[in-house]
Amino acid sequence: KFYGPYQVVDRIGATAYQLQLPSSAAIHNVFHVSQLKLCPNPQNQPVQHLPAALPTADKVPVAILDRKMVKRDHTAATKVLVQWKDLPLDKATWEFYYDLLK
C-alpha cells in the first residue's frame, strides 16, 4: 500500500530519500528507494493519507497455522506459520518456534 504523494526533501546516500511527511506521522521520514514509487503527476493524484496508526514492529502472534521442520545451523529446528494480530491471513509469516518463545 502506498501513501501520499509526499515531496522528496533530500537524498540520503545512494539508496534512501527523506520525505516531507505530515507532523502527525508516527513513522520515520527516511525510506529506502524500494519502498517508494514515482508519482508522475502529483497535482492530479488523490492524497492517500497515512493511517492514524501503522502496524508496529512489536507484532503479536494470535495463531499458529502450520509447522514444519527445517535445518538450522546443522540441526533440526521447528518453523511455524504465524498469524499476527490486526493483520490479514495472507500476511502470516514463517518464524522459528524458538524465536517466538523469547
Q: Does residue 83 sit within a domain? A: yes
Burial 28-58 (b: 16+ CB within 10 A, else e): eeebeeeeeeeeeeeeeeeeeeeeeeeeeee
pLDDT score, position 55: 55
Q: What CATH number has the domain bearing residue 82?
A: 2.40.50.40
Are 55 and 87 a contacting pair, CB within 8 Å?
Answer: yes
- Closest among 58, 12, 53 to 35, alpha carbons compared: 12
Number of domains in the chain: 2
Q: Does residue 51 sit within a domain? A: no
Other beta carbons less than 10 A from residue 60's beta carbon? 10
pLDDT score, position 46: 72
pLDDT score, position 19: 93
Q: Does residue 85 sit within a domain? A: yes
pLDDT score, position 52: 63
| Whole-prediction pTM | 0.48
Q: Does residue 3 sit within a domain? A: no
User: Do 40 and 67 fall within a single domain?
Assistant: no
Q: Which domain holds residue 23?
A: 8-44
Q: What does each of the 102 residues of the chain score in pLDDT, given as a tens digit?
A: 788 889 899 999 999 999 998 887 778 899 999 999 988 887 777 777 777 655 555 678 999 999 999 998 899 999 999 998 888 888 899 999 988 887
Q: Does residue 56 sit within a domain? A: no
What residue has cell string 539508496? 15
